[in-house]
Structure 1
Amino acid sequence: MAGSLAAGFVAAVILPFLPVGRVDVDFATAMVLFGFALGWALVAVLSTRFTDQPQRWAVAPAIFMALSGALVLLAPDAVVDALGWVWPPALVVLVVWAWTRARRELHSRTRVWLLNPVLVILVIFALGGAYETIRQSTGPAVAMRGQLVDVGPYRLHLECTGSRGPIVILEPGGGGSAASMGLIAPAVARDSRVCVYDRAGRGWSDPAASPPDGAQIATDLHNLLDRAHVPGPYVLAGHSFGGLYVRTYAAKYPEEVAGLVLVDSTAAKSTRVSPQKASSYSVLKHLSSLVATTSRLGVGHLVADTGFSDLPPRYRDDARATAATGKEMSGFLDEFGVANRSEAEAGELRSLDAKPLVVLTAELDNAKGWIAAQNEMATLSTNSLHRVESGSTHASFVENPAHAAAVTRAIHDVVVSVQTGEPLKGP
């Protein structure tokens, strides 16, 4: 019993790492279910062959898990969605039946110390799956604003508002979607035309086949703006990791950049960018997809529903709906998994010459050396300002209306400098 269930657990962890072309949360979920099916099948076969207490009932959970995995992997999305209503109660019924049969047929301490805890975990999974299905069906209906634009291997979501130029492009921080800029985008749109977008695997955008680093993100954004006919040059504003990406964009496409706003940006590195490996296999992508299977148990909604409370309602509902998905959870991990590479790529921007640059820095909760790194960013341009926003934290620039207003003001100042050709005016 112990060996069979342990083998099933190991298989559930290993199978999602098979080298296949399709790597996403559906594939990982199916592989986990196949692994569990193997464990239950071993219980039935080995107990029948090698003990005097055969547990033939274990064939039932093996078939149930294998069939569920096949449906998740092969069935249309509508069938998988319907399975969300059937799977939790069916699993509870199966657990109760298995517990009853094992109580009659398994006269060993393993029933109390091993099998019963496993059955309890399965009930928890069923409750989590039921919560996720109910939460999806009762949550606010969220319609995508903007458009999906084909950039080659996938589609990216883009929304532009306002009417005056130069055009401002907002780059969310690590883990952020276009909706997370909901306090900033509407305010900027009053005086300028502003575009927000979702990076691959975030928000409404399609996932990438492998974790995109800063260079790929910059290329994606360039293609997105080109194919959506959004003319440059642009004022780019990036928060946190987004600061890395706008720096990389400025290094790759300097003629398309009129000015920058770095909002408590992650510091770049001056290390050499290592060449990409020729192999298309990504352990990180498989790992992030495996972790994202927890979204089917309601984990994504539990986390998302505790955040974004200060955003305007339409942005809040958008952010919570998209952040709860397995795709979003996987994309979040992908982004941080290639952080070192993205930091090195951002370091390739050596100078903006005299293009306007505002560096906006949080006052509170900074790591050692953070302010010094922000000061160094301000030296990228001979026309720059460095502002430390009183009372702000790293997250409050997109979560607190007062501190988000400081971001809007910084963007406005850069836009005015671009329009007039005059230097930035302090403070």
Structure 2
Amino acid sequence: MLRRYPALPRISDADEDEDEKLMFRNIALRGLASLSVVLVVLVSIVLVFNVRASRAEVPPVDPRSQLVSVDGKNMSVSIQGQGEQTIVLLPGFGTSAPIIDFQPLVDELAPDYRVVVIEPFGYGYSDGTDKDRTADNIVEEVHAAVQSLGIDQYILMGHSIAGLYALDYTAKYRDEVTAFVGIDSSVPGQPNMDKKFPIEAFRIAKNLGFSEVLAQIQGNEDSEQSLDEATKEEMRYLVAKNNFSDTYLNEMDHLSSNFAAAIGKTFPADLPILLFAVQNSKVQGWTELHEGQAASVDHGELVLLDGDHYLHHTKSKEIAENLERFLGELN
């Protein structure tokens, strides 16, 4: 027997378009719902960490640190060692706790030198500042801190961005600086330093408390593994305090202009310079740029070390030994 079934309704093109729109709308709604859940979770995490942070006792200033007055604000410095020669140490950009970060190197240098670590405004336990983070302003503030300590002759040593600021510093205060030592230090003309950063996005993240969350989850610089628990907690506090602060973001925003202004600048020809740089760096032309800088002065030397950008975490002994040799050869 032949069975007859009711005919299926014909689906028009208009109906197909409407179904597709409905499908995409449902997908979009589900996506938004998922995103909302993620945002709620993230904000909840931030709020929990912020409540914990607000209840936590702020750690005291590092016992190695003392505060000096610069431009009406407090700048943190550390003085260790009793040697006849003084070394002034300057941090790389964004180092949240320079005194802690430099400690492996200070331990190697302190038996033979007096070592002064400067925490510029926005770093470590120093205050922040509203002044633009131009190289000129940073140099003037650091010099004021050195002057307040009564130091008039010293070796200037710096990591990363400090190498760029040192060009202006040594040009202005050549009569005070006896040598410059760079630790994988920045140089004029290094690539990719003309980029602009999403400053406002970072500021929003800071205001929402995400820097505190990152500090709790990630810790800080890669020297943390060798720290005791009390120092790790101090480091996390300083990361939360300084990462993406207004002073930090202002300096970040001035990186491109500070690098542009440094093009063509060199160290004074009669200033001895010793440069430590990462061997086989991923930065294009890194070795050649440092070779050129060393060759630009009467007594310049480049020492290539196997390691990462924070050479003072793993190569402190080599840095101290080469410095002693280099200074001995100048006499």
Residue number among 183, 190, 213 corresponding to 1:263 in the alignment:
183
Q: 1:298: which partner in 2?
A: 213
- Residues 336/124 of structure 1: CA separation in 2 closer, same or farther (3 Å cut): closer
Shift of 1:392: 1.8
Question: What are the Cα deviations for residues 338-375 of structure 1, in whole angstroms up to 9, with x where unaligned?
Answer: 11232244456434333321111111333221111010
- Residues 175/116 of structure 1: CA separation in 2 closer, same or farther (3 Å cut): closer
Q: 1:378: which partner in 2?
A: 294
Q: 2:319: which partner in 1?
A: 407
Q: 1:166: which partner in 2?
A: 85
Return the letter of the residue paired with 1:152: D
CA distance in 2, matches of 1:195, 1:318: 20
- Residues 344/405 of structure 1: CA separation in 2 closer, same or farther (3 Å cut): farther
Return the letter of the residue paired with 1:408: A
Unaligned runs of 5+ in 2: 1-26, 191-196
Question: What are the Cα deviations for residues 385-410 of structure 1, in whole angstroms up to 9, with x where unaligned?
Answer: 11111x22223x0332xx22222234
CA distance in 2, matches of 1:380, 1:319: 38
CA distance in 2, matches of 1:181, 1:125: 34
CA distance in 1, matches of 2:143, 2:243: 22
For residues 236-255 of structure 1, the aligned pairs below 5 Å read: 236-255=156-175
Q: Secondary structure at the match of 1:392?
A: coil
CA distance in 1, matches of 2:221, 2:297: 39
- Runs of 4 or more, structure 1, over 6 Å off, are 109-113
Q: 1:194: which partner in 2?
A: 115
Q: Secondary structure at the match of 2:224?
A: coil
For residues 62-73 of structure 1, the aligned pairs below 5 Å read: none
Q: 2:237: which partner in 1?
A: 321
Q: Secondary structure at the match of 1:360?
A: strand
> Does 2:43 correspond to 1:129?
no
Shift of 1:220: 0.7
- Residues 226/286 of structure 1: CA separation in 2 closer, same or farther (3 Å cut): farther
Counting helix residues as a fraction of each chain, which structure ranks higher? 1
Q: Which has the higher contact order (CA 8 A, sep 6+)?
A: 2
Shift of 1:213: 2.3
CA contact (8 A) 1:172 1:242 kept: yes
Q: 1:144: which partner in 2?
A: 62
For residues 71-82 of structure 1, the aligned pairs below 5 Å read: none
Unaligned runs of 5+ in 1: 1-108, 271-282, 423-427
Question: What are the Cα deviations for residues 142-165 of structure 1, in whole angstroms up to 9, with x where unaligned?
Answer: 542321212115321111111123
Moved more, 334-343 or 368-377: 334-343
> Does 2:269 correspond to 1:350?
no
CA contact (8 A) 2:294 2:302 kept: yes
For residues 356-375 of structure 1, the aligned pairs below 5 Å read: 356-375=272-291
CA distance in 2, matches of 1:294, 1:404: 38
Moved more, 288-297 or 170-179: 288-297
CA distance in 2, matches of 1:206, 1:235: 25
Shift of 1:124: 3.0
- Residues 180/125 of structure 1: CA separation in 2 closer, same or farther (3 Å cut): same
Residue number among 127, 141, 165 corresponding to 1:206 in the alignment:
127
Return the letter of the residue paired with 1:181: F
Question: What are the Cα deviations for residues 8-30 of structure 1, in whole angstroms up to 9, with x where unaligned?
Answer: xxxxxxxxxxxxxxxxxxxxxxx
- Residues 254/364 of structure 1: CA separation in 2 closer, same or farther (3 Å cut): same
Q: 1:185: which partner in 2?
A: 106
> Does 2:224 correspond to 1:309?
yes
Return the letter of the residue paired with 2:117: V
Aligned residues: 294
CA distance in 2, matches of 1:245, 1:237: 11
Q: 1:60: which partner in 2?
A: none
CA distance in 2, matches of 1:414, 1:162: 20
CA contact (8 A) 1:214 1:341 kept: no
- Residues 111/288 of structure 1: CA separation in 2 closer, same or farther (3 Å cut): closer
Q: Secondary structure at the match of 1:324?
A: helix
Q: Secondary structure at the match of 1:364?
A: coil
Shift of 1:333: 3.5
Shift of 1:119: 6.2
- Residues 245/410 of structure 1: CA separation in 2 closer, same or farther (3 Å cut): farther
Q: Percent identity?
A: 18
Shift of 1:130: 1.2
CA distance in 2, matches of 1:160, 1:189: 9
Shift of 1:318: 3.8
Scaled by the length of structure 1, what TM-score is found?
0.60
Q: 2:153: which partner in 1?
A: 233
Question: What are the Cα deviations for residues 82-137 of structure 1, in whole angstroms up to 9, with x where unaligned?
Answer: xxxxxxxxxxxxxxxxxxxxxxxxxxx99977578546623431222213443676
CA distance in 2, matches of 1:149, 1:347: 33
CA distance in 1, matches of 2:180, 2:264: 15
